[in-house]
């Protein structure tokens, strides 16, 4: 499934990524994900699914879904889009300006995943 992901960069709209999932009907809008961007991992927010894309384009894959952060609801996303348009900022900048710095850091979520894996073994 192809998803549109907002990232914390100026003047950049949502980027397209491939999300591998078993359930095609799973609601992923509002989920936080780790994505590869500029040769490193970065946190992003899924804004929705994309129906079609050119067949000759190869997309990067979503690294993982961040389960430590809550899924954002449609009302919050609508407000973020409104604020983004009002202040002439990218949706990613608007979304990430409302988050504490430690939650924006991808290393925080990678450490959480490693601890979770150790506890289940």
Residue 41: closest CA among 17, 11, 25? 17
pLDDT at residue number 52: 73
Q: Where are the domains of the chain?
A: 2-120
Instruction: Assess if CATH 3.30.460.30 describes domain 2-120.
Output: no
pLDDT in tens, 24-64: 667 899 999 999 998 889 999 999 998 777 777 788 999 99
What distances in angstroms separate CA 6 from CA 91, 111, 120, one per listed residue?
6, 22, 31
Alpha-carbon distance 21 to 11, whole Å? Answer: 30
Alpha-carbon distance 108 to 81, whole Å? Answer: 26
Alpha-carbon distance 42 to 108, whole Å? Answer: 11
pLDDT at residue number 113: 57
Length of the chain, please?
A: 121
- pTM of the shown model: 0.81
């Amino acid at each position: 499934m192809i998803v549109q992901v907002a990232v914390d960069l100026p003047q950049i709209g949502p980027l397209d990524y491939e999300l591998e999932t078993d359930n095609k009907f799973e609601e992923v809008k509002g989920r936080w994900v780790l994505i590869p961007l500029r040769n490193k991992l970065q946190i992003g927010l899924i804004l929705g699914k994309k129906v079609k894309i050119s067949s000759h384009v190869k997309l990067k894959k979503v690294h993982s879904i961040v389960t430590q952060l809550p899924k954002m609801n449609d009302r919050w996303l609508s407000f973020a889009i409104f604020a983004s348009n009002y202040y002439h900022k990218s949706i990613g900048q608007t979304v990430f300006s409302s988050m504490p710095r430690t939650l924006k850091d991808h290393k925080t979520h990678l450490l959480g995943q490693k601890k979770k894996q150790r506890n289940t073994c």
